[in-house]
Amino acid sequence: MYIGDYLGRRALYSPERVGIVDAGKTPAWRLTYAQLNERANRLANWLQDAAALQPGDRVAVLARDGVEHLDCFAACSKLGAVHTPLNWRLHGQELAGILDNVTPRVLIYSDDFRETVVQLTAAAASLTHFLHLDGEGIPGSTSYTAALTAAAAAPLSNEKVQAEDVVALIFTGGTTGLPKGAQITHRMIAWNSLNTIIHDLHHDDCYLNVFPLFHTGGLFVYTLPNLILGGTTILTRQFDPAQVLSLIEKEQVTIFAGVPTMYQALTQADNWAATDLSSLRFCTSGGAPLPVPLVEKYTQEKGVRFKQGFGMTEFGPGIFALAPEDAVRKAGSIGRPNFYVAARIVDDENHPLSPNQVGELVLKGPSLASGYFNNPEASAAAIDDDSWFHTGDLARYDEEHYFTIVDRKKDMFISGGENVYPAEIEAVLYQHPAVQMCAVVGLPDEKWGEIGLACVVLKPSAAATPNDLLAHLQNRLAKYKIPRQVVILDSLPLSGAGKILKRELRDQIIADEKNTDKRNTNIPNLPIA
């Protein structure tokens, strides 16, 4: 098969090279490409024989990072099935809504989320088979290790897999509550890998991944391109600053990527001063602008060079890159478009704008996802008649073709690298009987980039405290979506048409320090935990 069997091809070219170091295991697992391919073949055979999986069927994964995510991705690729990693930060009700939409046949899960899986079994009628990675599993579940051991190791592939076939669903936040599943095709992966190789990767690179593998940043920014190229990728169960520093030195890591909050946390780890980071060719930062003082600290104390980038689940995800030599000179910029990405700024009538004019960022190129799963309306709305993808971001570019994000056409803000959609939070707030009007805005924060603030007007004669409203949100939303602060106001600024003026509200809150005593900060926002 010329496309899709990623590990089969790599095992043919470099079978004895270490492809994955799973540092989340004790002791760490070191797996060659031959071993990785055998694991994928065994899982593919089990899915086909025991679970009767058919091309196009979905296999869901609810687990922290580990090689099992890549087993599933590669097995689905071989079969023509669809790898469907789930965001374990989501509330059980949110996960149930996703499963109801994507109807997976198989769920692979870890013991961390056993209670959630018990709840999902009642809500997801499509699930017929369960594989547990550890623990005893729920009744009727099969041990993942036992399944792989019993399954055949014979090579398996589907010769009918084509470039436009969907191989994965990666979920991006929805403005109306339910995350949308971006359909990742083999074509998209191939072009993103080519863009990444042109700009970043070498054959002998060692990449340390700390992003969740349910994110496009974890699975597709560097991990899969590095596997395709034959490099070594290190996985951690979750981000631990001290462990990351130790692994960079021990494994002679050449590429590391994180969000600004992670880079700040590394400098505060006990082993920061003693760790040798000289093996790094560069570090990449995304999710929010990297503060210049942080760049300077890494450069002066560790000799680290930074690239900064910009990506989206639906496109690339490698779209823009800012070279290390421009990290300070062009601070705040997302850089220039990658080689096979077209980008321009347009006005509300979709007309291209000149340098230094603010408009919407639109993109075109072969690394665009093929729409949203089971959501043709959203797919059609995102792409215009000339095949430009509309990002919803307001941006500008300068005479040197460096782009800068100015604001968001939509209300989304980014907290610790996670996209947060105010409309989703507001919809839940309106379910509280005391809430008459509300607006959620993102405020600047040194640690997380932005944090949420919920501004609420109560109904006449109704009573509710900030803690009441936070508790209401806690029972319905993922932790990272919950605003850090709630403020009760007498009114919200409105336009002549009665729309809440969020930008005016945000500016007012930032400028009016007197409002700080009305905010509640008891609920921490920990999007990278």
Residue 305 in any domain: the answer is no
Q: Taken in order 278, 447, 412, 94, is the CA torsion positive or negative?
A: positive
pLDDT band at 25 (very low <50, low <70, confident <90, very high): very high
- Which helix (H) or strand (E) segment is 213 a member of? none
Instruction: Report the C-alpha gap between 265 and 210 in whole angstroms.
Output: 13
- Among 146, 168, 185, give the residue marking a domain's end: 185
- Among 185, 210, 234, give the residue marking a domain's end: 185
Indicate the DSSP class of residue 481: G
Provide mean pLDDT across the span 102-110.
Answer: 97
Asked if 206 and 255 count as a contact pair (C-beta separation under 8 A), the reply is: yes
Residue 445 in any domain: the answer is yes
* Per-residue model confidence as pLDDT tens digits over 420-468: 888 789 888 988 999 988 999 999 888 888 899 999 999 888 999 999 9
pLDDT band at 525 (very low <50, low <70, confident <90, very high): very low
CATH number at residue 85: 3.40.50.12780
Where helices occur in 411-451 by DSSP H, the ranges are: 422-429
| Whether the predicted pLDDT of 371 surpasses 60 | yes
245-254, 410-419, 464-473: least confidently modelled range: 410-419
pLDDT band at 194 (very low <50, low <70, confident <90, very high): very high
- Tell me what pLDDT residue 370 has: 96
pLDDT band at 495 (very low <50, low <70, confident <90, very high): low
Q: Taken in order 456, 461, 465, 471, is the CA torsion positive or negative?
A: negative
Asked if 504 and 493 count as a contact pair (C-beta separation under 8 A), the reply is: yes
Provide mean pLDDT across the span 389-412.
Answer: 88
- Which helix (H) or strand (E) segment is 72 a member of? helix 67-79
Q: Indicate the length of the chain as a whole number.
A: 529
- Tell me what pLDDT residue 529 has: 30
Provide mean pLDDT across the span 476-504.
Answer: 84
Residue 266 in any domain: the answer is no
Tally Cβ neighbours within 10 Å of residue 469.
24
Where helices occur in 200-259 by DSSP H, the ranges are: 216, 223-229, 241-251
Provide mean pLDDT across the span 6-15.
Answer: 96
**Taking all residues of the chain, what is their mean pLDDT, rounded to a whole number?**
91
Structural domain count, the chain: 2
Residue 401 contacts by C-beta under 8 Å, 6 or more apart in sequence? 336, 337
Q: What is the DSSP string of 44-62?
A: HHHHHHTS---TT-EEEEE
Strands of 106-109's sheet in order across? 142-143, 129-132, 106-109, 58-62, 82-85, 166-172, 180-185
CATH number at residue 445: 3.30.300.30
Q: What is the pTM of this model?
A: 0.85
Instruction: Report the C-alpha gap between 486 and 458 in whole angstroms.
Output: 12
- Tell me what pLDDT residue 406 has: 81
Instruction: Report the C-alpha gap between 325 and 346 in whole angstroms.
Output: 29
* Per-residue model confidence as pLDDT tens digits over 147-164: 999 999 999 988 999 999
Asked if 214 and 171 count as a contact pair (C-beta separation under 8 A), the reply is: yes
Instruction: Report the C-alpha gap between 419 and 362 in whole angstroms.
Output: 19
Provide mean pLDDT across the span 372-400.
Answer: 94
3-class DSSP assignment, residue 110: coil
- Among 185, 214, 240, give the residue marking a domain's end: 185
* Per-residue model confidence as pLDDT tens digits over 232-285: 999 999 999 999 999 999 999 999 999 888 998 899 999 999 999 999 999 999
Residue 205 in any domain: the answer is no
* Per-residue model confidence as pLDDT tens digits over 134-147: 999 999 999 999 99
Q: What is the percent of the chain where pLDDT is above 90?
A: 74
**Encoded tokens for 16:** 């004895």
Asked if 487 and 432 count as a contact pair (C-beta separation under 8 A), the reply is: no
pLDDT band at 514 (very low <50, low <70, confident <90, very high): very low
- Tell me what pLDDT residue 527 has: 34
Provide mean pLDDT across the span 33-46.
Answer: 98
| Whether the predicted pLDDT of 126 surpasses 60 | yes
Instruction: Report the C-alpha gap between 321 and 213 in whole angstroms.
Output: 22
**Encoded tokens for 244:** 């990351």
- Residue where the block lists tokens 């007197």: 514
- Residue where the block lists tokens 């990666």: 170
**Encoded tokens for 509:** 């809150």
- Tell me what pLDDT residue 177 has: 58
Top mean-pLDDT range of 339-348, 426-435, 509-518: 339-348
Provide mean pLDDT across the span 163-167.
Answer: 97
* Per-residue model confidence as pLDDT tens digits over 198-228: 989 999 999 999 999 999 999 999 999 999 9
Asked if 439 and 426 count as a contact pair (C-beta separation under 8 A), the reply is: yes
Instruction: Give whole-number Cα distances, 29 to 25, 238, 386, 490, in Å.
Output: 6, 16, 48, 58
Indicate the DSSP class of residue 513: G
- Tell me what pLDDT residue 524 has: 34
Residue 82 in any domain: the answer is yes
Residue 489 in any domain: the answer is yes
350 versus 407: which is more confidently predicted? 350
Residue 392 in any domain: the answer is no
Q: Give residue 57's domain range.
A: 6-20+34-185
| Whether the predicted pLDDT of 62 surpasses 50 | yes
Residue 52 in any domain: the answer is yes
What distance separates the 2 farthest-apart alpha carbons in the chain?
72
